[in-house]
Structure 1
Amino acid sequence: MKHIKMTLRGYLVTGVLIWLPITITLWVLNLIIGTLDQTINLLPRAWRPESMFGFDIPGLGVVLAIAVLVGTGFMAANVLGQRLLDLWQLILTRTPVVSTIYNSVKQVSDTLLSDSGQAFRKALLVRFPHQGAWTVAFQTGMPTGQLKEQLGEEEHVSVYVPTTPNPTSGYFIIVPKSETRELDMSVDDALKYVISMGVVAPPPPAAARAQLSDERN
C-alpha cells in the first residue's frame, strides 16, 4: 500500500510539473490576446466582425494592434509623418496633467527601448536588503545632475531589485559601483533565476563553458 501511495504521489507530481507551465503559459497568452482584442473597439461599429459576420473573430485585435504599430512606425519614418508626430507630441506636452504623465512615460520607454541605453542590459549582484545579504539586480543607469553631486566623487550605479516571484514590482536603489558584482549571464537568465526563487540555476559563465568544451575535446 505504501508503495502504491508513493507511486501515485510521483505520478501526481509529474503531472503537475507538466501541466503547470503549460497552463500558466496559456493563461498569460489568453490575457495578452484578450487585452489586445479590445483594440477592435477602435473600429467603427459597422466594421466590427460581430456587425459584418455576426460573430467575433478571436485574435483579430492582435492583428489590428500590430498593424497600427507598424503603420505608425512607417509613418514616422518619413518627413510628413515626423511633422505630424512632432505636432501631436507638442499638443500632449502642452496639455496640463496629460503632459506630466506623457513625459514621464516617454522618458522611461525611450530609456528602456533605446538601442544606446543601458537600462536592463546588465545583471548584477548587490547587497540587499542589508550588508550581510546579496541579491540579483539589474543596472538601469547612472546617477546624474544633483544626485551625482550629492553622492560625491565615488562612482555609483542605479539598479532595480525585482521581487520574487513577481519581477514587475521591486525596489530602486543607488549603490556604489565598487559594491556591485557584474554577473556573466544574460538578463533573461537572471530573470528566470529570480522568478524561480533560485530553483532554476543560471548557466555557467562563458569562461567555464569554454574550459569544459576544451576538456571534452
Structure 2
Amino acid sequence: MQLGDDSVPRPQRAGLFTRLRNNFLTGLIVIAPIGLTFWLIWSVIGWIDSWVLPFVPARYRPDIWLLNQFDIDLDIRGIGVGFFLLFTLLVGWLAKGLIGRSILRWSENLVQTMPVVRSVYSGLKQIAETILAQDQSSFEKACLVEYPRKGIWAIAFISTTAKGEIKARAGAPMMSVFLPTTPNPTSGFLLFVPEEDVIILDMSVEDAAKLVISAGLVYPSSQVPDQVPAGATVVR
C-alpha cells in the first residue's frame, strides 16, 4: 500500500449543527442544576414571605419604610424569612423556660380536649420530633429488599428494628424499612422485613437517595458496581 492512499477512510468532522447541539447540551447540563437550585430557593423564600409578611406590622418592614421615606418601591425577598427565624428562636427560648413550659403544657392539654384537632396535632408533633430530632438521624442505613416479589430487589432505608406488638407477633427479628418511590423519594411504603432478608449496603443514605431519584443513573463513586449501565453517571 502506498503512502497517502485515498482508499483509507478518514474520520468525518462533525457538522456545524452537530457541534452547536453538543455545546448547547453541555451548557444545559451545567446550567440546569444551578438554575433549578436557585429557582427553588427563590420560590421557597417567596412562599414563606407571602405567609409571614401579612402578620408583620408595616412599621417594622424595611420595604414599607423605604417606600414611605424615599418613595422607593423595592421588593426585598427574605424579610419574611428573617422574621420567621427570629420568631422561631424566640419561641424556642421561651419554651425552654419555666413559664414557657407551663404555657406549652397548658396549650397541649387544651388541644387534647378537641377530638379532631387532637389527632392531627399528635400526628404532626410526632412526625416533627422524628424528623427534627438532633440526637438521631431519620434513617440508619440503606439496604436492599426483595420487592415486589422474590428475585426483584429494591433500595430501601432502614428506620429501626420492629418493636411492640409487631415484634411480639412476628415471631422473628424484624426490621422496619421505608421503600421510596422514583423519582419522588418522599413517598413510598413502610415494610416490615425479616432481618435475614435485608442486605445492608455500604453506601450512605444520601447516595442511595441520589440513586433512587435518578432512576438508577447516578451511582456513588465509592461504590461503583462492576458493570455500570450504559448512560449512567458516576458521582464524583
TM-score category (smaller protein): 0.7 to 0.9
Q: TM-score, normalised by structure 1?
A: 0.84
5 Å-filtered alignment, 1:20-35, equals: 20-35=32-47
Query: Is the Cα contact below 8 Å between 2:111 and 2:118 reproduced in 1?
Result: yes
SS of residue paired to 2:218 = coil
Asked if the contact 2:140/2:160 (under 8 Å) is kept, the reply is no
Q: Report the CA distance between 1:187 and its aligned residue.
A: 1.8
Following TM superposition, where does structure 1 have runs of at least 4 consecutive aligned residues deviating by more than 6 angstroms? none
RMSD: 2.1
Q: 3-state SS of the aligned residue for 1:97?
A: helix
Give the equivalent residue in structure 1 for 2:102: 83
- With 112-121 and 164-173 compared, the bigger mean Cα shift is at 112-121
Matched residue type, 1:42: F
Distance in 2 between the 1:111 and 1:2 partners? Answer: 56
**Distance in 2, Cα, partners of 1:31 & 1:121:** 31
Residue of structure 2 equivalent to 1:202:
220
Gaps of 5+ in 1: 206-217
**Which protein has the bigger helix share?**
1
Matched, 1:42 2:55: yes
Answer yes or no: is the 8 Å Cα contact 1:112–1:120 preserved in 2.
no
Which of 79, 94, 104 is 2:123 aligned to?
A: 104
Matches within 5 A, 1:42-191: 42-44=55-57, 47-48=60-61, 51-54=64-67, 55=73, 56-117=75-136, 119-152=138-171, 154-191=172-209
Flag the structure with larger Rg: 2
Report how many aligned residue pairs link the two structures.
Answer: 204
Tell me the alpha carbon deviations over residues 106-133 of structure 1, each in whole angstroms, 9 at most, x when there is no partner: 1122223224546312211212222212
Percentage of matched positions with identical amino acids: 35
Query: Residues of 2 paired with 1:117 and 1:58: CA distance?
Result: 33
Q: Which 5+ residue runs of structure 2 have no aligned equivalent?
A: 1-12, 68-72, 224-236
Change in Cα spacing, 1:194 to 1:129, as seen in structure 2 (3 Å) is same
Deviation, 1:48, is 4.6
1:88 alignment partner, SS class: helix
Q: TM-score, normalization: structure 2?
A: 0.77
- In structure 2, what residue type is equivalent to 1:40? L
